[in-house]
Amino acid sequence: MHVALAGGIGAARFLRGLVRVVPPAEVTAVVNVGDDLERHGLHVSPDLDSITYWLAGVIHPQQQWGRADESFVVASELERFGEGRWFSLGDRDLATHVFRTKRLREGAPLSVVTAEIARAFALDVTLLPATDDPVATRVTTVDGRDLHFQEYWVGERAAPDVAAVRLDGARAAAPAPGVLEAIAGATSLLLCPSNPVVSIGTILAVPGVREALLASPAPVVGVSPIVGGEVVRGMADKLLPTVGAEVSALGVARLYADLLDGWVIDVRDAALAPRIEAELGLRVVVTDTMMDDVEVATELARTALSLCRGDRAA
Amino acid sequence: MHVALAGGIGAARFLRGLVRVVPPAEVTAVVNVGDDLERHGLHVSPDLDSITYWLAGVIHPQQQWGRADESFVVASELERFGEGRWFSLGDRDLATHVFRTKRLREGAPLSVVTAEIARAFALDVTLLPATDDPVATRVTTVDGRDLHFQEYWVGERAAPDVAAVRLDGARAAAPAPGVLEAIAGATSLLLCPSNPVVSIGTILAVPGVREALLASPAPVVGVSPIVGGEVVRGMADKLLPTVGAEVSALGVARLYADLLDGWVIDVRDAALAPRIEAELGLRVVVTDTMMDDVEVATELARTALSLCRGDRAA
């Protein structure tokens, strides 16, 4: 079983490659839920949904989030009621949130509802939220404001400089059923090319997850989300400094150093490989990590799995 | 102030006429909520919504319920999750239910949310749910099944014969804030041409409402929902026998006899007028009650108000 720690879009694109290399039924993704938010009274799980839509082949191809062939009738009508559109939900997408919210109100844990949604999209991959407990990634800006991650990320387009990021509720949160078991029983553990602070970091902030990774006999291999000193997607460059990390494939590797056995970096960062190997004692593989099409994603997944098997030349 | 007890479509069409005769701000509608139901975890108030959409001019002109220019993207997507379409909600309509549900979950009473929705549709009429408390109209079929009214009405298209109708929760329900005050302070009290059993009957089943109507010094005038021994709309003919009432303008007048001062019947029932007057001691006015256009509705409202003022020749 291959277990991947996953954020949103970057992880989704990587997983789309992974399921072409190994049977989807042998893949479990442990997904960040720190970004989850309530919109119009509905529970939205942006990372779970991005992965679901990508794997189901219904993702909006240009946006890379939300549904293809999307309309915004409900969101437009909701403006009448003073409901803002800073985080706009499409009609097709909304059906997922309506169903999720209904089931949560009925008392189903998020992990159960997540499995139901995955089944509704005919996914063979197992998707697990990092936790069933309420957690929320909060951002403290340099100018002293405390914002929900999505208010910062979508509402303010990540413009303000960030002083600190934290996962509210983390201390009282437990890993969702199956998370620790999947990690303990894995043959390979993968850290997707997701935001190290607000995607992978928030999964690792759930008590027990980091310990399970350290205790697992399976190799841990990550894919750098930073290419050529820049983020591939998103705005990790605003967030890495808050945890004292340099915005580079080396900086992120340092963050994960206690966990990693191997690290996959982009060809543009080839020059960093010897330094990462020497400083952190990791096996590093250099390859194309820009997953502009599914073939690159597939090759990248193959490379990461080869590295898990101890095979440096992928 | 003119206070009308109201169900859904028939009431909405009548109120649309009424607000052309008197200033909308002088009209309060006390609306049945026994038909309210939860769909996809969302609180739907069919009668409140029908009245809101009719008065706002956004009603679907052919269906006579739901929104004009409607699409069904969310409902179609919800099928993926096993959510049936027996009671299909359009996308524009859904925005109302999403907002209502959000506000109810936040702890706002239905009467407050109803006022917010009316404001969002720029209505000057005051809409009050009969009660803020949870009530549900249930139908016992002759073959012994116990169904929510909407399961019977929409789900089974009112096909089964009905043994009994009751309003669950009625005993513990209180009139919504403003209902008793509006009735007590009214200059005219109107019973809209709505279903006597499951629309007007369920409003009267809320403890205190019937007593308030009896105690009010204002005249009570009703409009018969039965024309020529047939229901104008809906399937009241299936329900009137459950309360021992004949399906006629006389049968409904008998049901309301203790409340009524005047009764408006259709020209097709003119022959019944002397009998109703003699048997029930009511003033009866005969006019066109088939509100196929707003002009007829306006004249009908004018006639009802004239009758309230004691003027028989409208």
Amino acid at B186: A
Edge-to-edge strand order for the sheet containing B146-148?
B146-148, B136-141, B162-168
User: Do B42 and A116 lie within an 8 Å CB cutoff?
Assistant: no
User: Do B95 and A105 lie within an 8 Å CB cutoff?
Assistant: no
pLDDT-wise least confident of A260-264, B60-64, B276-280, B283-287? B60-64
Chain A: residue whose CA lies nearest to B83: A99
> Quick one: pLDDT at residue A224?
96
User: Do B42 and A91 lie within an 8 Å CB cutoff?
Assistant: no
> Quick one: pLDDT at residue B165?
92
Question: Measured between CA atoms, how close is A285 to chain B, in angstroms?
Answer: 41
Tell which of B39, B80, B97, B116 to mutate to test the A interface (max A CBs under 10 Å).
B80
Per-residue tokens: B291: 């509100």
H-helix or E-strand containing A26?
none
Q: What are phi and psi of B68, to 5 degrees?
A: -70, 160
Model confidence pLDDT, tens digit, residues A107-124? 999 999 999 999 999 999
A121 touches chain B (CB under 8 A): yes
Model confidence pLDDT, tens digit, residues B227-273? 987 777 667 777 888 888 999 999 999 999 999 999 999 999 999 99
Topology of the domain comprising A2-133+175-308: Rossmann fold (3.40.50)
**Cα–Cα dist A24/A20, whole Å:** 8
User: For residue B162, what are the β-bridge partners?
Assistant: B141
Q: Which residues contact A184 (CB under 8 A, 6 or more apart)?
A: A212, A215, A216
> Quick one: pLDDT at residue A140?
94
E strand map for chain B:
2-6, 27-31, 37-39, 42-44, 126-129, 136-141, 146-148, 162-168, 188-191, 220-223, 226-227, 230-231, 262-266, 283-287
Per-residue tokens: A142: 């340099």
Model confidence pLDDT, tens digit, residues B164-213? 999 999 999 999 999 999 999 999 999 999 999 999 999 999 999 999 99
Question: Measured between CA atoms, how close is A71 to chain B, in angstroms?
Answer: 8
pLDDT above 70: residue A312: no
Q: Which CATH number among 1.10.1760.20, 3.90.320.10, 3.40.50.10680, 3.30.1130.10 corresponds to the domain B2-134+171-308?
A: 3.40.50.10680
User: Do B117 and A41 lie within an 8 Å CB cutoff?
Assistant: no
User: Do B74 and A116 lie within an 8 Å CB cutoff?
Assistant: no
Angle at the Cα of A153 (from A147 to A158), degrees rounded to 5? Answer: 95
User: Do A95 and B81 lie within an 8 Å CB cutoff?
Assistant: yes
Chain B residues near residue A98 by CB distance under 8 angstroms: 40-42, 74, 78, 98
Out of B40, B71, B105, name the one closest to residue A98 (CB): B40
Out of B41, B82, B105, name the one closest to residue A98 (CB): B41
> pLDDT band at residue B311, thresholds of 50, 70 and 90?
low
On average, the pLDDT of chain B sits at 94
> Quick one: pLDDT at residue B313?
47
For B266, the 3-state DSSP assignment is strand
Q: Render B43-108 in DSSP notation, one character per residue.
A: EE-HHHHHHHHHHHT-B-TTTSSSBSS---HHHHHHGGGT---TT---HHHHHHHHHHHHHHHTT-
B84 touches chain A (CB under 8 A): no
Question: Measured between CA atoms, how close is A92 to chain B, in angstroms?
Answer: 6
On average, the pLDDT of chain A sits at 94
Chain B residues near residue A94 by CB distance under 8 angstroms: 74, 77, 94
Owner of token pair 């502009």 = A292
**Cα–Cα dist B105/A65, whole Å:** 28
Chain B residues near residue A117 by CB distance under 8 angstroms: 81
Distances (CA, A) of B238 to B157, B163, B164, B241, B250: 11, 9, 10, 7, 17
Out of B73, B102, B120, name the one closest to residue A41 (CB): B102
User: Do B106 and A42 lie within an 8 Å CB cutoff?
Assistant: no
pLDDT above 60: residue B216: yes
Instruction: Please compute the mean of the pLDDT values over residues B59-70 and round it to a whole number.
Output: 92
> Quick one: pLDDT at residue B1?
93
User: Do B73 and A82 lie within an 8 Å CB cutoff?
Assistant: no
Out of B81, B105, B116, name the one closest to residue A99 (CB): B81
Centroid of chain to Cα A270: 25
> Quick one: pLDDT at residue B154?
86
User: Do A40 and B99 lie within an 8 Å CB cutoff?
Assistant: yes
Tell me the percentage of chain B whose pLDDT exceeds 90: 86
Amino acid at B77: E
**Cα–Cα dist B281/B262, whole Å:** 9
Going by C-alpha positions, the residue among A198, A237, A243, A236 that lies closest to residue A35 is: A198
User: Do A98 and B95 lie within an 8 Å CB cutoff?
Assistant: no
> Quick one: pLDDT at residue A137?
94
For B241, the 3-state DSSP assignment is helix
B41 touches chain A (CB under 8 A): yes
**Contact yes or no for B28/B126 (Cβ under 8 A):** yes
> Quick one: pLDDT at residue B314?
42
Instruction: Please compute the mean of the pLDDT values over residues A197-203 and round it to a whole number.
Output: 95
Question: In chain A, what are the domain boundaries?
Answer: 2-133+175-308, 136-168
Chain B: residue whose CA lies nearest to A121: B80
E strand map for A41-193:
42-44, 126-129, 136-141, 146-148, 162-168, 188-191
**Cα–Cα dist B32/A159, whole Å:** 50
User: Do A105 and B80 lie within an 8 Å CB cutoff?
Assistant: no
> Quick one: pLDDT at residue A192?
98
B214 touches chain A (CB under 8 A): no
What pTM value is reported for the model? 0.94
Chain B residues near residue A103 by CB distance under 8 angstroms: 41
Chain B residues near residue A66 by CB distance under 8 angstroms: none
Sign (positive/negative) of CA torsion A83, A84, A87, A88?
positive
User: Do A41 and B83 lie within an 8 Å CB cutoff?
Assistant: no
Tell which of A102, A105, A117 to mutate to test the B interface (max B CBs under 10 Å).
A102
Per-residue tokens: A178: 């199956």
> B278 vs A231, which has greater pLDDT?
B278
Amino acid at A29: A
Instruction: Please compute the mean of the pLDDT values over residues A56-76 and round it to a whole number.
Output: 94
> Quick one: pLDDT at residue B198?
92
Per-residue tokens: A202: 């928030």
B115 touches chain A (CB under 8 A): no
pLDDT above 70: residue A311: no
**Contact yes or no for B12/B195 (Cβ under 8 A):** no
A73 touches chain B (CB under 8 A): yes
**Contact yes or no for B274/B232 (Cβ under 8 A):** no
Question: Measured between CA atoms, how close is A97 to chain B, in angstroms?
Answer: 10
> Quick one: pLDDT at residue A314?
42
> Quick one: pLDDT at residue A16?
97
Question: Measured between CA atoms, how close is A39 to chain B, in angstroms?
Answer: 9
Per-residue tokens: B280: 């029930």
Going by C-alpha positions, the residue among B251, B255, B278, B253 that lies closest to residue B264 is: B253
